[in-house]
Structure formats: structure tokens, C-alpha cells
Chain A
Amino acid sequence: MSASDWLALKTTLELAALTTLVLLMLGTPLAWWLASTRSRMAVVIEAVVALPLVLPPTVLGFYMLVALGPNGLIGGLMESLGLPHLAFTFTGLVLASTLYSLPFMVQPLKDAFAAVGTRMTEAAATLRASTRDSFFSIVLPLSRRGLLTAITLTFAHTLGEFGVVLMVGGNIPGQTRVLSIALYDHAESMDYAGAGLLAGGLLAASFLMLLSVYALNRRYRVVHP
């Protein structure tokens, strides 16, 4: 692997890790809200969260590019605060990836939270636990399978993203040039050996991650009474 490929790997891992972390913090309360609310708005929010599953990444990437750019909603705000806009930056990439991988974090978490059931939190409440307390002491531990699935899927999904990165990030080494783009470059320049190495690596990594999730899920099966 060339030095630029190593750099792309580093950027990719950083992006995936950061995106997963951000989504964990934003997606958890969102998933909890979706699992427990009776609001009619929930169905709309759920559809919005699921959009990235069906939308071509270039569509999402295009809107993000516009929003993050100097004349966009987010980029414009940044510039008015005296900060640089976010198009073609690593931060912009993290923001776009967060949106792009949102359903991969929220849906498994929501299902896991819903499966815990209200009875457990009711029992905790009658034992003096506040809502926040019972979320951390009861709901999260009982959702660990869903949590693990959500983290792995989000990480793996961000690892392989291409269209959004291309639109929002471009191809700046050390900043926005990720593995899938490096792979594309290799193939473009007929370097099939280099492309094959990256493709094989991504394939193996994705498979191993999914394998470990399914294996762990089998081991830590939580049975409800």
C-alpha cells in the first residue's frame, strides 16, 4: 500500500469513528424518543430518519454541499461568525456522514429500546429510579445487543461511503480522501493491483465486523421473562 493509501485509511477510520461517536450521542435520545413517544409526529420523523436508506448518496451529498457551502444555511452561518465554510472539509464530511448513516444507528436502537418494554421502566420507577436513572440502569444494559449492532453497522456503513464523500468532500489527501475514493482513483488509472488490495481489505473488514456482531448477538441473548 502506498503512503497516500495509508493516509486515506487513517482519514477513513477517523471519519467512521467520529461519525459513530456523534451518532451515538444524537441517535440514542432520538431512538429513545421514537420508541416511547405517542406523538403523531413520530411517524414523520421516522420516515425522515429512514430517507438515507433509499436516497441516492449523490442527492444527499448535493444538498449537503449546498448547505455547507459559503452561501448555504450552515456554511453561511459559519462565515457570518467569521469562521470558514465547511464544503470540502473534514468537518463537513463528518456532518454529511452523520446524516447519511443516521438510520443505521437509530433503527436498531429504537427496536432494542422498544423490546425492553414499559414494564421494566415501570418497575424501576416504583423502585425510586427517575427516568434518566432507569434509562442508564435498565434500558441501556438490556439493549446492549441493539447498541452493539447499531455501533457496528454505523461504523461499517460510514467506512464504505463514496457518493456523499465525493460530493461534499472532494478528494483532498489527508482531509477528505477516503479509502473508497482512493480505490476509485486506482481503478481510474488502471492500477488494478492497488484497487484490488483496497477492495479486498474493505470487503474483509466489513465481513469481519458483521460476523462479530452476529456472533456476539448469539452469545449475549437476553431472554425476557
Chain B
Amino acid sequence: MTIRARLQLNRADFTLDVDAQFPLRGVSAVFGASGSGKTTLLRCIAGLERAAGVLQVNGEIWQDETLFMPVHQRPLGYVFQEASLFPHLSVRANLEYGYKRIAPAARRVRLEQVVEWLGLRPLLDRRDTVKLSGGERQRVAIGRALLASPRLLLMDEPLSALDASSKQEILPYLEALHRDLEIPVVYVSHALEEVARLADHLLLLEQGKLIANGPLQEVLARLDLPTAHREDAGVVVEATIAEHDDAYRMTRLTLGENSLWTGHLNPPLGTLIRVRIMARDVSISVQPPHPSSISNILKARITEMQAEGCDKVNVRLSVGQSEVVIARITRRSRDLLQLSVGMAVFAQIKSVALT
């Protein structure tokens, strides 16, 4: 259950050179700055661009030295940045376009299911697709791709052309897609927030080259990658809802053997949720801190330090058995506290962000 891609594409101003193997399961995000080749890589996987090399999806060869499977024969779905609905067709006809073109025996979803799932019933007989809102159009585009019964769904920044409220409208569907459907997704994005929320696996691209490829949590916990230098650098952890304190309107999460208090969260007890702990929200003290308004203080050990700009330092801390957080502190604090790798410290976590 893997994708193996060894692809090379030379353009006048850009070269893509990627050799990657990643799981064909859950959501694999391709992340990088604009111009890093994310979209080009996705287009090469789809066959919309013709790169040199080998592409194998779940053991099936889509491309090698002698063979290039045309786009329309690849069992994939593609969601473009702009919905790209066919303007001369109704919403229903758009949805059915791919569905009609596959053999009945190969269809794995019915129109009804997709319509129900994406809340498309009120739009079904609309002919004026250009008058739909951005969020509605993108929902139709996702439904249209799903109805082609893809064995791999490719999404090229499906939220980036949408305004903030339409983004919030679509995100739950993408999460549900991840949760409820067994279709592996390759998701291109330049928004770390989306990636942290949706992805299981992360491929990091820089100037057409793959610089990291691994489980999301591991890659985001690395200090040697550009992701660690962002303003919103931080780790993603899985936590369990352990307690709701109704008097103070707070929720306690367990993270390994540690607990974290956070503002009230809705999910019921026992729910596994994903939270982001930003490096800028973590500080370090060497002694058990005095009573403080920050309630989350975890025993930690410094495992790595890297300079961040000229005045800051990123510190990687292991907390508990296997969890890792990153703290961003000033260089001055590091020297005052005489921090060094291997030292036992206390990490104070100001807040956790629900992804």
C-alpha cells in the first residue's frame, strides 16, 4: 500500500527531482513554499505533466521507461484549486460526468451517498454553476471527483481560492473524508494550519527537491527543517479528552502520562483529538516554577537546540515517554539559564490550539 515516485521534470526555470515512497493510506500532505514544485509533483502523479521516471501506485505501474498511462486511464480523482466545474452542465451532470464513464461494476459509491454526504441536495438541479458560491462549487468538485470511484484522490490546494468562511465550510468535509472514506489522499498545501489538521504523512518540498518525508508528527518535531523556522512552528500531538471541569469551563487532556488543561472543548470524554502546541507558546524554567497563571507545567529533557534567527533558539524537549514539544526562547534566556542538551527542565505550555 505505497506510492513510489521517482520523477524528474526539467523546465526552463524550474527542475523537479523527487524520489519518494510514501504510504497509500490516510492523507499525505505535500507542503512547501510557492514555487517549490508541489503542484507540479501532483500533476506528474496525475499524468497531467509528463515527467521522466517511474510511478508506481499500490504495485500498479502508472509510468516507467516504456509506459505512460494516459490521465483518463488512471483510477484517480483530482480536485483543482478552482473548482473547474463544466459551465454548460448542471450540478447533477457535473457530478455524473466521471460516474457515467466508469464500468458499473467498478463504481464504489452511489450518487445518493455523495449528495447526502456533501449536502448537495439543494444544489442538484442548479444549471447556473457559475452562480454557486466558492464553497458550494468546491463541494460539487469534490463530489464529482469522488463519484469517479478513485483509488487515489489528489487535491491541489482545494481551499486556497476560498475566503475564510468558505474554508470553514469545507474543512469538516475534508476531515470526514479522512475519517469515513477509505480513499488515500495526496493533499498539496502551503498552509501549515491545514496540513496540521488533515495530514498523517508529510512530504516537504523545497525548490523542486524533497527535503523530508515521514509521519506528520515526526517531521514537525524536527528542528533542522524550514518548518521549524516559521512563525507558527510547533508540534502536533494526539491527546485524549480526560475531564470536563464545568465550574471553571475547562477541559483536561491527557498526553501520554501528562495532563494539559485547556479552555472548554466540546468532544465527549475519551475522544482522541489532535492539538497543536506552538513553539512560541512553550517556555522553559530550570526549577519547578512558583505558582503561576500558566497551569501546564511538564517535566522535560532537552534533546536538541538550534539557533533561530539572530536572537532566538529553538529547543526540542522530550516530555513523558515519547512526546516531543518545541520551545522557542530567546538566546539571552538560554545563556541565563545555562541550558544544554541532556538537561532536565520544566516546560510551561501557555496554550494548546485545537487543529
Q: Chain B interface: which of A8-16, A17-25, A32-40, A118-126?
A: A118-126
Check B88–A222 contact: CB distance below 8 A: yes
B68: min CB distance to chain A, Å: 13
Residues of A within 8 A of B84 (CB): 119-120, 122-123, 225
| Interface CB pairs A-B, < 8 A, 23 | A119-B82, A119-B84, A120-B84, A122-B78, A125-B70, A126-B48, A126-B76, A126-B77, A126-B98, A126-B154, A127-B144, A128-B72, A128-B73, A128-B98, A128-B101, A129-B101, A131-B72, A133-B72, A138-B88, A141-B88, A224-B130, A225-B87, A225-B129
**Given A119-B80, A128-B72, A130-B72: A225 and B97 interface contact (C-beta under 8 Å):** no
B148 touching A127, Cβ below 8 Å: yes
- List B residues at the A interface (Cβ < 8 Å): 46, 48, 70-73, 76-78, 80, 82-88, 97-98, 101-102, 129-130, 137, 144-145, 148, 154
**In the docked arrangement, what's the CA distance between A137 and B94, Å?**
11
> A142 touching B72 by the CB < 8 A rule?
no
One digit per residue, 1 when the CB lies within 8 angstroms of any chain B CB and 0 when it does not, for chain A 92-135 equals 00000000000000000000000000011011111111110100
List residues of chain A with CB within 8 A of the CB of B48.
Answer: 122, 125-126
Taking CB atoms, residues of chain A closer than 8 Å to B76 are 126
A83 at interface by CB-CB < 8 Å:
no
Known: A225-B130, A225-B137. A125 touches B71 (CB 8 A): yes
Q: Which of A123, A130, A131, A137 contacts B80 (CB 8 A)?
A: A123
Partner of A123, one of B78, B88, B129: B78
Query: Within 8 Å CB of A133, what residues of B?
Result: 72, 101
- B46: chain A residues within 8 A (beta carbon): 126
In the bound assembly, the distance between CA atoms of A125 and B137 in angstroms comes to 19
Known contacts A119-B82, A224-B130; 18 additional CB pairs below 8 A are A120-B84, A120-B86, A122-B71, A123-B86, A126-B46, A126-B77, A127-B97, A127-B101, A127-B144, A127-B148, A130-B70, A130-B72, A133-B72, A142-B88, A222-B88, A223-B130, A225-B82, A225-B85
The CA-CA distance from A42 to B97 in the complex, in Å, is 32
The distance in angstroms between the C-alpha atoms of A127 and B143, with both chains bound, is: 12
Give A222 to B129 CA distance when docked, in angstroms: 11
Q: Please provide the 5 A-B residue pairs with the shortest distance between their CB atoms, ordered closest to farther.
A: A127-B98, A126-B78, A128-B101, A125-B71, A123-B84
In the bound complex, residues from chain B placing their C-beta under 8 Å from that of A223 are: 87, 130
Per the bound structure, the CA–CA distance linking A114 and B48 in Å amounts to: 18
Cα of A222 to Cα of B89 in the assembled complex, Å: 11
Could you say which residues of chain B place their CB within 8 Å of the CB of A124?
72, 86, 97
- Whole-angstrom CA separation of A132 from B70 in the bound complex: 13
**Known contacts A126-B77, A128-B98: A138-B86 contact under CB 8 Å:** yes
Contact A126 B145 (CB under 8 A): yes
B154 surroundings in chain A (CB, below 8 A): 126
- Give the distance to chain A from B215, nearest Cβ to Cβ, in Å: 28
Residues of A within 8 A of B130 (CB): 223-225
Residues of the A chain whose Cβ atoms lie less than 8 Å from the Cβ of B88: 138, 141-142, 222
A138 proximity list for chain B (CB < 8 A): 86, 88
Q: Which A residues touch B72, using CB under 8 A?
A: 124-131, 133
CB A123 to nearest CB in B, in angstroms, measures: 5
Q: Chain B: which residue is nearest A128 at the CB level?
A: B101
B87 x A224 contact (CB < 8 A): yes
* Complex CA–CA separation, A126 to B154 (angstroms): 10
Q: How far is the CA of A125 from the CA of B129 in the complex (A)?
A: 20
Residues of B within 8 A of A119 (CB): 80, 82, 84
Q: Which of B88, B129, B148 has the most CB of A within 10 A?
A: B88
Bound Cα distance from A222 to B82, whole angstroms = 18
Query: Pick the contact of A128 from B86, B102, B129 — CB < 8 Å?
Result: B102
CA of A142 to CA of B130 in the docked complex: distance in angstroms?
Answer: 14
- B residues near A225, Cβ cutoff 8 Å: 82-85, 87, 129-130, 137
Measured CB to CB, the nearest residue on chain B to A125 is B71
- Compute how far the CA of A177 lies from the CA of B18 in the bound complex, rounded to whole angstroms: 68
Contact A222 B97 (CB under 8 A): no
> Given A125-B72, A223-B130, does the pair A142, B87 have CB atoms closer than 8 Å?
yes
Determine which residue in B101, B130, B144 has the highest number of CB atoms from chain A within 10 A of its CB, and name it.
B101
Question: Which chain A residue lies CB-closest to B88?
Answer: A141
Beta-carbon nearest neighbor of B137 in chain A: A225
Which A residues between 168 and 225 are near B, CB-CB below 8 angstroms? 222-225
Q: Which chain A residue shows the least CB distance to B144?
A: A127
Residues of chain B within 8 A of A128, CB atoms compared: 72-73, 98, 101-102, 148
Q: How far, in whole Å, are A131 and B148 apart by their CA atoms in the complex? A: 17
Residue of B nearest to A222 (CB): B87
Contact residues in A for B70 (Cβ distance below 8 Å):
125, 130
Q: How far is the CB of B253 from chain A (nearest CB, A)?
A: 41
| Smallest Cβ-Cβ distance to A140: which chain B residue | B88
A86, B129: Cα distance in complex, Å: 52
Once the chains are docked, how many angstroms separate the CA of A141 from the CA of B48?
23
Q: What is the CA–CA distance of A163 and B71 in the complex, to the nearest angstrom? A: 49
Cα distance A59–B74 in the bound complex, in angstroms: 52
Nearest A residue (CB) for B101:
A128
